[in-house]
Amino acid sequence: MNEADRALIARLRQGDHSALDTLVRQHQNELYRLAYRMTRNAEDAKDISQEAFLRAYRALASFDGRSSLSTWLYRITVNLCLTHLRHQRSGSEGEMPESTADPSPKPLEELEVQERLRAVSEAVQALPPQQRATLLLRVHQGLPYREIAEILESSEGTVRVNYFHAVAKLRSQLKGLRDDG
Per DSSP, helices labelled H in 91-155 are: 108-126, 129-139, 145-152
* Domain 107-181 CATH assignment equals 3.90.1150.10: no
Q: Which residues make up the CATH 1.10.1740.10 domain(s) of the chain?
A: 1-92
Candidate CATH numbers 1.10.3720.10, 3.30.565.10, 1.10.8.60, 1.10.1740.10; the one for domain 1-92: 1.10.1740.10
| Dihedral sign (CA 126, 45, 136, 152) | negative
| Residue 143 neighbours by CB under 8 Å, 6+ apart | 74, 137, 151
What pLDDT score does 2 carry?
A: 84
What pLDDT score does 109 carry?
A: 66
What pLDDT score does 91 carry?
A: 63
pTM: 0.67
What pLDDT score does 157 carry?
A: 94
Q: Which residues make up the CATH 1.10.10.10 domain(s) of the chain?
A: 107-181
10-residue stretch averages of pLDDT, the chain, 181 residues long = 88 89 93 91 94 91 86 92 84 44 52 75 88 90 90 93 93 74 48
| Residue 139 neighbours by CB under 8 Å, 6+ apart | none
